[in-house]
Amino acid sequence: MTGLTDPTDRREQILRAAVQQGLLDPDRSLLAGFIDLDGVAGTVGSLRAAFPGSVSALHAFAAKANSLVPVLAELERHGMGCEVATGGELARALAAGFPPERIVFDSPVKHRRDLEWALDLGVTINVDSFQELARVDSILAGLAPVSQIGVRVNSQVGGGTIAAMSTATRTSKFGIPLSDPESRRELLRAFRERPWLTWVHTHAGSQGCPLDLMAQGVAEAVAFAEEVNRAAGGPQVTGIDIGGGLPVNFAGDEVTPDFATYVALLAEHAPDLFSGRYAIVTEFGRSILAKNGFLAAYVEYTKTAGGRPIALTHAGVQVATRTVFAPESWPLRITAHDPSGLAKHGSPVRQDIAGPACFSGDLLARDRALPRLEQGDIVLLPDTGAYYFSTPFHYNSLPEPAVYGVRVGADDRVAFDLFRPAQDPYEVSARPGRTTVPAPRPSGLVRR
């Protein structure tokens, strides 16, 4: 990687360059997201290196983690595949240049038209339910599919500390349960009757799920594949999609856990996965991009209430939705910077960091010890490259921020590439409803 390699110094280097180049400006650009493309390349490399070279592995990026087409195109150039969950994500994957054979379509709710589109393209499909399998039957009408088709199974191994992120519980909405006896028998019969079912997919969950639990879930899927192949008298199931879900350390810059640690656990719990009998697909998302991106926003005002300082910023629920509504599960680090982007080093003061939305819970952090923020300062939110600025929440019609891809050259020159322009807050006619009259724009004049 070129440029500074210490994560704190590198973020400050990028932030200062963004201010100098006018990408952050207290009058025109109050909030922006940045993706470190050098860091992305390094993370993809570490993912590849973690898996043994003796197995065929397609690493498909989970598009939901950041579905901006330029981001997807960057990952496609690194040879990744793309995992999509909707027709919209499929369209973005195709626009980014992914060939259909490197696209995987997973979702518990696939409409018939999206299934027809994916089957026509030859996209890999993981069926999520018996009713969906019947729908695929009706679309194929007895013809052999061009697509690879698998079934998502629910290993039912349990959940982690964040219930909403746990997908292998006994009653999860995802997949066909393996521990329900009748369900397992029906699924074995489905494979026996359809020789074109050649993949098994599983995913135990993501943030908050321990690696051991995730590896146990994969082991259950591999054991089911082995059972299918024994019944078939040969290798009907030729691939295992192990999902993604590697948790991210939001407490510091250390990348922990890492891909190599997870692969070692997979080898321990599911050694047959690496026997050479199966191709492998992974679907990591957050762990690819979270630590390679950050948000930066200006402090518009400060005040004190009840003896506690409050910094009111332009970053809030519209970009940090999970943090605002579930701060215990999704805490974010925050660093304080002066208007030039330099880190502030004053004595820590306990203060609230608030967003712009009109409800009292719109807080990025409560009672957080930071150098005291002043009007015009900048707050930087590390580890937000996945989900945060790519999945906007349009509370109060707050606009989507600009997003930039960033590379740092050997000469430390920071180069920015606009991945998404900032949404104009005054173009209200674009959403929602049928309003066609343009909104009045501020004239820049103050009438007295």
Residue 389 belongs to domain with CATH number: 2.40.37.10
Max Cα–Cα distance, the chain, nearest Å: 87
The CA distance from 119 to 145, in Å, is: 7
Residue 349 lies in a domain: yes
C-alpha separations of 27 from 19, 318, 423, 444 in Å: 12, 20, 15, 12
pLDDT, average across residues 119-125: 97
Same domain, 194 and 276: yes
* Domain-terminating residue out of 247, 272, 287: 287
Residue 246 lies in a domain: yes
Residue 448 lies in a domain: no
Same domain, 153 and 262: yes
Residue 433 lies in a domain: no
Residue 443 lies in a domain: no
Same domain, 88 and 227: yes
Structure tokens at 333: 């680090």
pLDDT, average across residues 183-210: 94
Q: Calculate the average pLDDT of the chain.
A: 93
The CA distance from 96 to 90, in Å, is: 10
CATH of the domain at 149: 3.20.20.10
Same domain, 114 and 225: yes
The CA distance from 371 to 253, in Å, is: 19
Same domain, 206 and 241: yes
CB-CB contact of 286 with 65 (8 Å): yes
Residue 232 lies in a domain: yes
Residue 436 lies in a domain: no
The CA distance from 218 to 200, in Å, is: 10
Same domain, 281 and 295: no
CB-CB contact of 13 with 412 (8 Å): yes
pLDDT in tens, 320-343: 999 999 999 999 999 999 999 999
Residue 351 pLDDT > 50, yes or no? yes
Residue 355 pLDDT > 50, yes or no? yes
The CA distance from 362 to 321, in Å, is: 9
Q: How confident is the model at residue 1 (pLDDT cuts 50, 70, 90)?
A: very low
Same domain, 265 and 335: no
Classify residue 349 as left (phi > 0), alpha (psi -120 to 50) or beta.
beta
CB-CB contact of 61 with 50 (8 Å): no
- Of 181, 153, 180, nearest to 168 by C-alpha is 153
- What residue numbers bound the domain in which 134 lies? 37-287
State the DSSP H helix or E strand holding residue 282, giving kind and residue range, or none if neither: strand 279-282
pLDDT, average across residues 5-17: 95
Task: Please provide residue 378's backbone torsions phi and psi, each rounded to the nearest 5 degrees.
Answer: -125, 135
CB-CB contact of 415 with 409 (8 Å): yes
Same domain, 200 and 270: yes
Q: How confident is the model at residue 208 (pLDDT cuts 50, 70, 90)?
A: confident
The CA distance from 295 to 3, in Å, is: 20
* Domain-terminating residue out of 287, 314, 347: 287
Classify residue 422 as left (phi > 0), alpha (psi -120 to 50) or beta.
beta
Same domain, 50 and 80: yes
The CA distance from 233 to 428, in Å, is: 62
- Of 410, 416, 388, 412, nearest to 400 by C-alpha is 388
Same domain, 340 and 207: no
Residue 249 pLDDT > 80, yes or no? yes
Number of folded domains that form the chain: 2
Q: How confident is the model at residue 444 (pLDDT cuts 50, 70, 90)?
A: low
The CA distance from 407 to 420, in Å, is: 16
In the block, tokens 């009007």 appear at 375
Q: How confident is the model at residue 447 (pLDDT cuts 50, 70, 90)?
A: very low
β-bridge mates for residue 176, sequence order: 153
Same domain, 337 and 247: no
Residue 437 lies in a domain: no
Structure tokens at 371: 């150098």
* Domain-terminating residue out of 270, 287, 304: 287
Is the link from the previous residue into 438 a cis peptide, with omega within 30 of 0? no
Same domain, 21 and 45: no
pLDDT at 445: 52
